[in-house]
Each structure stands twice: as structure tokens, then as C-alpha cells.
A = this chain, B = another copy of it.
Amino acid sequence: MDEFALIQQYFSGIGTPSQQVVLGIGDDCALLAGHTGEQLALSVDTSLPDRHFPAQADPWAIGWRALSVAFSDLSAMAAEPVGFTLALSLPEQDPAWLQAFSQGLRAFAEAQSCPLIGGDTTRGPLAISVQVIGRAPAHRVWRRQGAQAGDLIAVLGDLGAAYAGLQSLLGDPELARDRHQWGAVEQAYMLPESRMQEALRLRDQVPVTACIDISDGLLADCQHLLAASAVAAELDLAALPIHPWLKHHWTPEQQLDAACEGGDDYALLLTLPATAWPRAHQLCPHLTIIGRCVAGAGMRNQAGAPLAPRGFKHF
């Protein structure tokens, strides 16, 4: 049973929805009614050793990454940061590890103006759960639902580099220990960058109709967005914004695999009316059109062949 089936079977419909809950389980964040005209967005992400990062990885990067991947869910809803909480289980107290971990967390938090507002520390196997809280005008928050037939599908950011970085880190455990030795792809995996500023620019000036962050892989996450919006997609795989490193080092087939299935890039996948494209592209030069929404269900390429995620495991 995968994560989605497990949630559906055991954890759906727990408790009576209160009036303040605008959106519950099933999107990048839950939404709560906030200030008049505003909604609060909440999301939680757990990072575990040898599942989400190499256990021996540079602790500074572990801190950065744990906050960054949770924060990506706020970017995907175009909700600006309010703060975050940290539930941290630690097997032992290693002052050097803790110092570096907290500095990495702090670096991301300060760069993104997202303060730590609470938490819980316990003795136990290493586990890092980060809950992020953001806010957005109620009529401008982005959801997975909302894409319309005819909308363009675009990606904000590069694809494939994180997958390449993970392969590199898994192949050379010593490399993982020191972030100063990393090249572009190792950085892409361990130190994903925030798309928040671009998301907020778009939110305030472009009628984006739906959005999701690409954590599980382009095809898997695209499928989530399409299902929530009840539309189909025609994708131009030749147009994918593949990271330049892959173009120089990998075969076209490997590039496509990494971009479609690799995940962990934390790029944003979003949809918007074609008329909004010029303004969107002006605001975000790194936005790339990769297809368009059509009536129906599922995904296909430009030749009409069906596309589906293979359910690739990332770690």
C-alpha cells in the first residue's frame, strides 16, 4: 500500500471538520481561515536518515534541506511564510552535529524570513519533522485543483539535477560529509532552493489556476494536479527544462528519465491561461512551458501516446 492509499484507508475523515478549516488533507498544505480575507496554510514534512538524506551527510545541509522541503509546500500554495515548528528526535547529543544542523536551519530560515516558533525535542532515532505555516489572500491561494482545459502547463525551475545528485552521493559516501566538496547536482539534491519569491511575484500579478511542487517526480505530481483539477494533459517532453549538467553528462534517455521520474527537485508545476503567459514569463524568466491542459483524464505526449509515472523509489 502506498502513502496515498494508506492515508485514504486509515486517516481520512478523522474528526468533525471545524468551520475554520477551509481545506483539509489532499493538497500541498491545509488551509485555515485567518485574518479577514486571508487564509493560513499548514504543512508538515518528516526527514529521515538514509531515506531523505544520507545518514552521514553534512549536518548543515540536513538542517537546510529539512526546512527547505517543507517550505516548498508553502511555495506551491503561494503562501508567504509566517513561521515553522520543529519536532526533533535525536539519538545522542553531538554538539558539533547539532551546531551545524541548527546553523543550516537558521541560514534557510533567515534567508526566507521564516522564524522558528515552537517545537519538541526527544531522545530517539534521528527524525526531523518540520511544520510550516504561511498565509495568503484567500482569493489568490494556489491549489492543485483549478486547472482548465486550454491552460498552459509550466515548470518553474530545472529538472533532473537532484536525482543525479542523489546517485552521486549514494555512490560516494565520503562526498556526502562535506558540502564544500559538492558540485551543482549534489547541491540540487541536498540544498534545494526556494521558489517562494517567484511564486509570490506570480501570485500577485498572474492568474495561476493550479500548482503543485515536484517532489515525487514530474509525471507523478502532474498526475496529482490533473486528478484534482479533473483535466488531462498533453506534454511536450522535448521542452522539459533539463538541468544543464545532465545535458553534458548523460544520454538523452537518462536525462528524460531523471526529469520525469526523479523527483526531489522541488521545482513548481503550475497552470495558467495562455493569455497570461507573456506577463508570467516577464516576471519569471526561468518559467518553461511544457504542455497544455486538455479535456479528459490522464497524460499523453504530443504523438498521443499515454504517459504514466513508473512509481520510481527515490532513495
Binding site for B on A (CB under 8 A): 1, 3, 6-7, 10-11, 14-18, 20-21, 24-25, 29-30, 32-36, 40, 42-46, 48, 51-52, 81-87, 89, 93, 98-99, 101-102, 105-106, 109-110, 112-125, 127, 129, 131, 133, 135
Q: Is the CB of B87 within 8 A of A42?
A: no
Name A93's closest neighbour in chain B (CB-CB).
B1
Q: Among the listed B6, B32, B40, B93, which residue makes an inter-chain contact with A93, where contact means beta carbons less than 8 Å apart?
A: B6
Choose among B30, B35, B120 the residue that contacts A117 (Cβ–Cβ < 8 A): B30
Whether A87 pairs with B35 at a CB distance below 8 angstroms is no
A sample of 5 inter-chain contacts (CB < 8 A) reads A11-B102, A16-B115, A18-B113, A42-B131, A51-B124
A42 lies within 8 A of B93 (CB): no
Residue in B17, B44, B48, B116 whose beta carbon sits within 8 Å of that of A124 in the complex = B48
Residues of B within 8 Å of A42, CB to CB, are: 85, 117-118, 131, 133
- Chain B residues whose CB sits within 8 angstroms of the CB of A85 once the complex forms: 30, 42-44, 131
Q: A253 vs B7: C-alpha distance in the bound complex, in angstroms?
A: 48
A175→B25 CA distance, assembly (Å):
35
Given contacts A11-B86, A32-B83, A102-B10, contact A122 B48 (CB under 8 A): yes
When C-beta atoms are compared, the residue in chain B nearest to A18 turns out to be B82
Q: By the criterion CB–CB under 8 Å, are A121 and B7 in contact?
A: yes
Chain A to chain B: the 7 pairs with minimum beta-carbon distance, closest first: A15-B115, A15-B109, A14-B116, A30-B117, A10-B102, A30-B118, A125-B125
Given A3-B121, A83-B30, residue A115 in contact with residue B18 (CB < 8 A): yes
A26 to chain B, nearest CB (A): 9
Q: Is the CB of A14 within 8 A of B105?
A: yes
- Enumerate chain B residues within 8 angstroms of A43, measured Cβ to Cβ: 85, 118
Q: Are B7 and A119 in contact (CB under 8 A)?
A: yes
Taking a contact as CB atoms under 8 Å apart, the answer to whether B121 and A44 are in contact is no
Contact residue among B45, B48, B87 (Cβ-Cβ distance under 8 Å from A44): B87
Give the contacting residue for A125; candidates B18, B21, B44, B127; CB below 8 A.
B127
Q: Are A131 and B44 in contact, CB atoms less than 8 angstroms apart? A: yes
